[in-house]
Amino acid sequence: MKRRDFIRHTAPAGIVFPALINGFTFKAFAESPLVSALTQAPTETDHVLVIVQLNGGNDGLNMVIPIDQYDNLSNARSNIIIPRNKILKLNGTSFTGLHPSMTGLQTMFNDEKLKIVQSVGYPQPNFSHFRATDIWLSASDSNQIINSGWAGRYLNEEYTNFPTGYPSSVMPDPLAIQIGSFVSPAMQGPGVNMGMAISDPVNFYNLINGIQGTAPNTRGGKELTYIRQIAQQTQQYASVIKGAAAKVTKQFSGYPTGNSLADQLKIVARLIAGGLKTRIYMVSLGGFDTHAQQVNSNATETGTHAILMQKVSEGIKAFMDDLEFLNSSKRVIGMTFSEFGRRIKSNSSGGTDHGAAAPLFVFGHYAQNDVSGTSPIINLTTGTADNIPMQYDFRSIYAAILQQWFCVPETTLENVMLKNFQNIPVIKKSAPCMSSSPDLIIANAGKNIISNYPNPFQTSTTISYESSGGHTLIQVFNTEGRLIKTLVDAVINSGNHKITFENEGYLPGVYYARLQNNTIQQIRTMLLVN
């Protein structure tokens, strides 16, 4: 076989060629005036998103406690349930309370700076830490492998051709910053990673920048090009980061000690207040994989999980206080997430196994101050495999933040999210760039817009629902959170509609019908009997 044939036959599909990560290859394009003219300028915004990742799968049911489901929940997890009288109350709701360690977040909620979104997940939940994390970071479907991250795709839309030509006068700063070790896969763009990792903004070490040869066209050359690029970035961004850090000489004094999340957020506050135009920061806290002994058995409001809850709450509260102190709080929205929640029923090791949907927080001056969704429904008897059904797709939160906070236009949004997701109100209407209206959801509070008859049912049941028009989705989930059937997924007229759900040999038990229509979603519990 001839050498040329080798190249042709073995150039594998789907490989990232060095061209994509090698500035030299793109140079010719970047210099062309035509291409420059086509290159869009990024959206004007000084908004910042801070993502707080809770590694290990957080027990959402002991964090945001469904007070209205307390008795059944207590049955399911008697050895770890938080005593009813210790649950922290929230203004305006008697249904939802917080873990007793979360006084900081309680204050923020009552000060109208915190939003709770109930039961966030995705259809066909995955119970593996690594896979579930990949799903959350890439914003893929459960059965879909996407090798880029959602934040990376967003930044790729905003800052075309990165890293060629960056830093630039328009964007002199890192696009995204991970505090800590590896740059998160969330920041992986379609071609290159859009983020950088730092742990200490002051002691940036100067890499030398001397003479270097051309990288050969081999695997080794490809790796070499990558390392060189990082080396250059390190140097290019070192000065702006040091500069931003140097501008902030005094920070809020109330940061807790021994709290690595607070330490990381303190660096973030400093960089934000120092004037970096960086849009996305990621921080993380580990230890949430509480299979055993998550509480102290003699006082369930204390123990491992309680300490974690305290770290999250105190860290975020101090961060927001610091931003207030530094006059930067209006620029910042934060969100928490974990790769999954935990099982409703506790195990006898005093812990909880991997679960499905869970609540998350959105925080900040402009966070819409409410609880989205109802308390997860806990049945009188809960099986070990039962999970919280999803009410909101996690990608709706991403999409909402991109649209309402980063002012991403609808057309671009689909490029980033890869699909059209429900838009739910996450950011206050008073925030700049706010486009959607939360009025509808408030008008519909307490109203049953989806119901079924007969219930319980044997062979079939008719689901009646009201749509305000536009895209309407009705899905049926089982108690493990698995998607059983999609009944409606179409653009329909406003008004009342009916659809039949047939028993296609399903096991008897509880099923959830989920209606999603624009900003509204509602869950109906249906009981299938023999």
Partner 1 sequence: MDRRSFIIANTHTKSPEFRTNAGLSPYSPPIGNAELIHLLRRVLFGVKPADISKVKGKSLNDVLDMLFIADPTPDPPVNNYNTTSYTDPVVPLGQSWVTAPNDGNATGYRNSSFKSWWTGLMLNQNTSIHEKMVLFWHNHFATETVDINDARYSYKHNVLLRTFALGNFKSMVKEITLDPGMLRYLNGYLNNKTSPDENYARELQELFTLGKGPKSNYTESDVKQAAKVLTGYTVNATTITSAFDSTKHDTGNKQFSSFYNNIVITGKTGAAGATELDELINMIFQQPETALYICRRLYRFFVYYEIDEATETNLIAPLAALFRSNNYEIKPVLKALFSSEHFYDPVNRACMIKGPLDYCIGLCREFNVVFPLSTDTVNLYYMHEYIRTQASNMQQNLGDPPNVAGWAAYYQEPQFHKLWINADTLPRRSQFSDTMIGNGYTRNGKNITIDILSFVDSLSNPADPNILITDSLSIIYAIDISKEVQDFLKSILLSGQSTDSYWTAAWVTYKANVNNTANKTIVLTRLKSMFKYLMNLSEYQLS
Q: How far apart are CA 8 and CA 5, in angstroms?
A: 5
Q: How far apart are CA 385 and CA 158, in angstroms?
A: 43
**Contact between 95 and partner 1 (CB under 8 A)?**
no
Q: Identify residues 280-319 at the interface with partner 1 (CB under 8 A).
A: 286, 291-292
Nearer to partner 1, 37 or 130 (CB): 130
Q: Identify residues 104-133 at the interface with partner 1 (CB under 8 A).
A: 127-131
Cβ(36)–Cβ(177) below 8 Å: no
In this structure, are strands 114-121 and 358-364 parallel, antiparallel, or unpaired? antiparallel
Q: Identify residues 361-420 at the interface with partner 1 (CB under 8 A).
A: none
**Contact between 54 and partner 1 (CB under 8 A)?**
no
Nearer to partner 1, 354 or 365 (CB): 354
**Contact between 258 and partner 1 (CB under 8 A)?**
no
**Contact between 488 and partner 1 (CB under 8 A)?**
no
The token pair at 170 is 């328009």
- Least spacing, CB of residue 179 vs partner 1, in Å: 9
- Least spacing, CB of residue 148 vs partner 1, in Å: 9
**Contact between 208 and partner 1 (CB under 8 A)?**
yes
Cis peptide upstream of residue 432 (ω within 30 degrees of 0):
no
Task: Pick the stretch among 30-38, 63-71, 84-92, 345-353 that binds partner 1 (CB under 8 A).
Answer: 345-353
Nearer to partner 1, 11 or 38 (CB): 11
Among the listed residues 35, 67, 231, 492, the single contact to partner 1 using CB under 8 A: 231
Among the listed residues 349, 435, 448, 493, the single contact to partner 1 using CB under 8 A: 349
Q: How far apart are CA 88 and CA 191, in angstroms?
A: 46
Cis peptide upstream of residue 167 (ω within 30 degrees of 0):
yes
Backbone angles phi, psi at 191, to 5 degrees: -115, -50
Nearer to partner 1, 95 or 226 (CB): 226
**Contact between 207 and partner 1 (CB under 8 A)?**
yes
Cis peptide upstream of residue 456 (ω within 30 degrees of 0):
yes
- Least spacing, CB of residue 26 vs partner 1, in Å: 19
Residue 79 CA from chain centroid, whole number? 30
Nearer to partner 1, 2 or 250 (CB): 2
- Least spacing, CB of residue 55 vs partner 1, in Å: 8
- Residue 509's DSSP bridge partners are 528
- Least spacing, CB of residue 212 vs partner 1, in Å: 7
Q: Identify residues 12-41 at the interface with partner 1 (CB under 8 A).
A: 12-13, 15-16
- Least spacing, CB of residue 517 vs partner 1, in Å: 31
Q: How far apart are CA 300 and CA 309, in angstroms?
A: 13
Nearer to partner 1, 57 or 97 (CB): 57
Q: How far apart are CA 372 and CA 523, in angstroms?
A: 12
Among the listed residues 164, 347, 436, 525, the single contact to partner 1 using CB under 8 A: 347
- Least spacing, CB of residue 360 vs partner 1, in Å: 21
Helices (H), 112-191: 129-138, 150-158
Cis peptide upstream of residue 438 (ω within 30 degrees of 0):
no
Nearer to partner 1, 97 or 195 (CB): 195
Binding residues for partner 1, rule CB under 8 A, total: 64
**Contact between 166 and partner 1 (CB under 8 A)?**
no
Q: What is the DSSP string of 447-465?
A: ---EEEESSSBSSEEEEEE
- Least spacing, CB of residue 14 vs partner 1, in Å: 8
Nearer to partner 1, 6 or 29 (CB): 6
442 residue type, one letter: I
Residue 516 CA from chain centroid, whole number? 19
**Contact between 8 and partner 1 (CB under 8 A)?**
no
Task: Pick the stretch among 32-40, 60-68, 218-226, 448-456 that binds partner 1 (CB under 8 A).
Answer: 218-226
Among the listed residues 37, 211, 380, 445, the single contact to partner 1 using CB under 8 A: 211
- Least spacing, CB of residue 61 vs partner 1, in Å: 18
Helices (H), 62-199: 70-76, 103-110, 129-138, 150-158
Place of tokens 């007229």: 493
170: closest CA among 303, 45, 350? 45
Task: Pick the stretch among 10-18, 331-339, 398-406, 432-440 that binds partner 1 (CB under 8 A).
Answer: 10-18
Among the listed residues 83, 92, 220, 508, the single contact to partner 1 using CB under 8 A: 220
Residues 6+ positions from 257 with CB-CB distance below 8 Å = none
The token pair at 154 is 């967003």
Q: Identify residues 173-202 at the interface with partner 1 (CB under 8 A).
A: 180-183, 185, 188, 193, 196-199
The token pair at 69 is 């489901």
Nearer to partner 1, 147 or 458 (CB): 147
The token pair at 88 is 């922290």
First CA to last CA across the chain, in angstroms? 68
For helices 394-404 and 150-158, what crossing angle results, to 10°?
A: 20
**Contact between 3 and partner 1 (CB under 8 A)?**
yes
Place of tokens 């990792």: 197
Integer CA distances (angstroms), 256 to 159, 259, 421, in order? 36, 6, 38
| Surface-to-core class of residue 130, CB atoms within 10 Å of its CB (0-12 exposed, 13-18 middle, 19+ buried) | exposed
**Contact between 445 and partner 1 (CB under 8 A)?**
no
Q: Could you say which DSSP state residue 205 is in?
A: P
**Contact between 85 and partner 1 (CB under 8 A)?**
no
Chain positions contacting partner 1, by CB under 8 A: 1-3, 6-7, 9-10, 12-13, 15-16, 55, 127-131, 145, 147, 180-183, 185, 188, 193, 196-199, 204-205, 207-208, 210-214, 216-224, 226-228, 230-231, 233-234, 237, 286, 291-292, 347-349, 353-354
